[in-house]
A and B are shown apart, each in its own frame.
Chain A
Amino acid sequence: MPIAIGLEGSANKLGVGIILHPPHQPSSPPSPHDSAYSDDELHSSHPTSKQKSSSPPVQILANLRHTFNSPPGTGFLPKDTAAHHRRWVVRLVKQAMAQARVRIEDIDCICFTRGPGMGAPLSSVAIAARTLSQLWNKPLVGVNHCVGHIEMGRAITGAENPVVLYVSGGNTQVIAYSAQRYRIFGEALDIAVGNCLDRFARVLKIPNDPAPGYNIEQLAKNAGGVLLELPYAVKGMDVSFSGILARVEEMALKLESAAQSKPATPWLDPLTSAPITPADLCFTLQETVFAMLVEITERAMAHVGASQVLIVGGVGCNERLQAMMGIMAAERGGSVFKTDERFCIDNGIMIAHAGLLAWRKGFVTPLGGSGVTQRFRTDEVLVDWRD
Chain B
Amino acid sequence: MADAASSSARVNALHKFPPPFDTSDESFELIAQGAESLLYRTTFSTTGQPAALKVRPEKKWRHPILDKRLTRARILAEARVLVKLSGEGIAAGGSTPGKRAKVKQPKEGEKGVAGLRGFVPAVLALDWERGWMMTEWVYGRTVKQAIHDTQAGRRAVEREQRLQDLKELLRRIGEVVGKLHASGVIHGDLTTSNMMLRPYDATTPDPTSTDSLDGDVVLIDFGLSTQSVSDEDRAVDLYVLERAFGSTHPREEDLFPEVLTAYAENEGSGMNGKVGKLVLRKLEDVRMRGRKKSMVG
Contacts and interface: CB of A to CB of B under 8 A. Distances in A.
Given A176-B297, A183-B297, A333-B7, A327 B60 contact: yes
A298 interface: yes
Contacts, number: 68
Interface string B210-238: 00000000000000100000000000000
A302 B224 contact: no
B6 interface: yes
A227 interface: yes
Interface stretch (A54-62, A78-86, A110-118, A303-311): A303-311
A325 B295 contact: no
B224 A324 contact: no
Contacts of B66: 227, 232, 287-288, 291
Interface string B51-73: 00000000111110110011000
Contacts of B224: 236
A178 B297 CA distance: 7
A291 B59 CA distance: 10
B227 to A, nearest CB: 15
A143 interface: no
B34 interface: yes
Given A185-B295, A324-B61, A327-B61, A232 B70 contact: yes
A155 to B, nearest CB: 23
A223 to B, nearest CB: 11
A379 B1 CA distance: 23
Interface hub of B14, B62, B295 (most chain A Cβ within 10 A): B295
Interface hub of B36, B60, B188, B297 (most chain A Cβ within 10 A): B297
A301 B59 CA distance: 15
Main DSSP-derived SS at the B contact region: loop
B294 interface: yes
Interface in A206-228: 227
A331 B63 contact: no
Given A325-B61, A327-B60, A331-B60, A298 B7 contact: no
Interface string A279-308: 000000001100100110011011111010
14 contacts: A183-B297, A236-B189, A287-B63, A295-B35, A302-B34, A304-B297, A324-B61, A324-B62, A328-B59, A328-B61, A331-B61, A332-B7, A333-B7, A333-B10
Given A305-B4, A379-B295, 18 more contacts: A178-B297, A183-B295, A232-B69, A291-B63, A294-B62, A295-B35, A295-B59, A301-B35, A302-B4, A303-B1, A303-B35, A303-B297, A305-B7, A323-B61, A326-B61, A328-B59, A331-B60, A332-B11
Interface of A: 176, 178, 183-185, 227, 229, 232, 236, 271, 287-288, 291, 294-295, 298-299, 301-305, 307, 323-328, 331-333, 379
Give the top 9 A-B pairs by smallest Cβ distance, nearest first: A302-B35, A327-B61, A324-B61, A299-B35, A287-B63, A227-B65, A184-B295, A298-B35, A328-B61
